[in-house]
Amino acid sequence: MSMNIGFFNKKFVIISATAAFIVAGCSSSPKYVKTEIISNSTKTLETPEWVLNPSIMHEEGTNIVFIHKVTLSGSSRPDACVSMARTQAVGEMMKYIKNAVTTSGQVEDLNSSSDPSLSSLTAFLSQGNISGAKVTTSYWEQTMEADESGFKPTKKLMCAVQVAIEKSVLDKQMRDAINGTPGGNPEIRRKLLDAQKSFIDNVGNKDAAKEPSSSDLNSKSNSDSVSKTETNANPKSE
pTM (2 decimals)?
A: 0.71
In a domain, 78, yes or no: yes
69, 227 in Cβ contact below 8 A?
yes
Q: Is residue 16 part of a domain?
A: yes
Please list, in sequence order, all residues whose beta carbon lies within 8 angstroms of the beta carbon of residue 24, skipping any fewer than 6 positions away: none
Based on the fold, state whether residues 86 and 191 are members of the same structural domain: yes
Same-domain check for residues 128 and 64: yes
Residues 8 and 84 in one domain: no
Kindly state whether residues 7 and 105 are assigned to the same domain: no
Res 69: pLDDT: 97
Letter for the amino acid at 150? G
Q: Residue 148: its pLDDT value, please?
A: 81
* Sign of CA pseudo-dihedral 118, 123, 125, 126: positive
DSSP annotation of 34: P
Judgement on whether residues 53 and 141 belong to the same structural domain of the protein: yes
**pLDDT at residue 65 in the model:** 97
Residues 5 and 117 in one domain: no
**DSSP bridge pairs for 156:** 73, 143
Q: What is the pLDDT of residue 109?
A: 63
Structural domain range at position 6: 1-30
Looking at the structure, tell me whether residues 22 and 42 fall in a common domain. Answer: no
Total domains present in the chain: 2
The ranges of the chain with pLDDT < 70 are 1-33, 105-106, 108-113, 204, 206-238
